[in-house]
A = this chain, B = another copy of it.
């Protein structure tokens, strides 16, 4: 068998020729999204460190650095950072905690060839990082991850936090680079008031943390946070200096539920990522079955939304099948249906390729470099 079967499309093919289910990127919409965020950050004088956890692609990482105004990328896992480093990305903020001794050694090794920044929320972890970096005769940049309401990782703002920063600052093999203050809960809080309340609290905590550190002579090169759903708040705060948005390049069905102050939906960004699926059965009236189920997408934030054709709704997601309602019985086997995924980040993580489309034709095929690199 031909090895090419592993790749869902070839340059020049039409949408109907793509082997489905496959993730496709509308390149015009993608480029408009990237340009909008670049202009936003330039206008507001805030750095953008685009989060690669969304796309996990070295091609997109490079595009965002070269054309999207990004000063570097964020990663969420060591293996993700390693995969993107191998593909040529050399400025990586690992917005997470690394505790496994073997992983710490791998992390420290990366600092010899790239700018690597990592989060810390625990003194024993800081000591382990310092020892590993000293053994490797290198210096590791650390930011203190603080608790701003997300209740995941993060040390509460206070004296223990200051002590941790001081330890990092004093350790010859570590470099204190600032604070990580990401309020993940806020990203998908649909209602504006609820989102604002979460961000007001996070900004208050972050301001307090920066002031406590400054009082001890510790300046923050990075005061990082902000996602696609919240970044206007962090920007307006005057406290943060780096945004970590990822999803704005693609958007997803859940982000289109997030409302702005006047109750309208967030409209700055367009959907550019689609799950292309094929009808495999229309044996029952009023419904059709397509070939994209749970294995081809994540439904943790709700079902995908049908983009085309009109009148069709994706109503149920099974392991390898999707159920579509088709009241007018228009769909036939082999018809293509485009879905806006419910949640873009974990959906990308399930695929090996992104198929870039322009004017109805395949223009490029990008490997999802860090697919499955969740360790």
Contacts and interface: CB of A to CB of B under 8 A. Distances in A.
A284 B147 contact: yes
Given A295-B374, A296-B374, A350-B349, A154 B99 contact: no
Contact of A102 (B19, B53, B106, B371): B19
A323 to B, nearest CB: 7
Interface stretch (A60-68, A75-83, A208-216): A75-83
A299 B86 CA distance: 31
Contacts of A349: 295, 350
Contact of A152 (B125, B151, B323): B323
Given A76-B320, A96-B320, A320-B96, A372 B351 contact: yes
Contacts of A293: 374
Interface string A293-312: 11110111000000000000
A103 B22 CA distance: 14
Interface string A332-347: 0110000000010110
Contacts of A1: 82, 86, 106, 109
9 tightest CB-CB pairs across the interface, nearest first?
A153-B281, A295-B374, A99-B333, A97-B280, A295-B349, A76-B320, A121-B283, A294-B346, A99-B334
A121, A282, A351 — most chain B CB neighbours (10 Å) = A121
A82 B5 contact: yes
Contacts of A374: 21, 293, 295-296, 320, 350
A251 interface: no
Given A1-B86, A295-B349, 5 more contacts: A99-B334, A156-B283, A295-B374, A351-B372, A372-B372
B296 A299 contact: no
A172 interface: no
A20 interface: yes
Interface in A274-333: 278-284, 287, 289, 291, 293-296, 298-300, 317-321, 323, 333
A264 interface: no
A352 B333 contact: no
Interface of A: 1, 5, 8, 17, 19-22, 53, 76-77, 79, 82, 86, 96-103, 106, 109, 121-122, 124-125, 147, 151-156, 184, 278-284, 287, 289, 291, 293-296, 298-300, 317-321, 323, 333-334, 343, 345-346, 349-352, 371-372, 374-375
A302 B203 CA distance: 33
A85 B63 CA distance: 38
The A interface is mostly helix, strand or loop, or mixed, namely loop
Contacts of A351: 372
A350 B334 CA distance: 27
Given A8-B375, A294-B300, A294-B346, A100 B20 contact: yes
A8 B77 CA distance: 14
A20, A299, A320 — most chain B CB neighbours (10 Å) = A320
A245 to B, nearest CB: 15
B5 A106 contact: yes
Contacts of A296: 374-375
A319 B345 contact: yes
Contacts of A291: 77, 375
B151 A323 contact: yes
A79 to B, nearest CB: 7
A5, A124, A352 — most chain B CB neighbours (10 Å) = A5
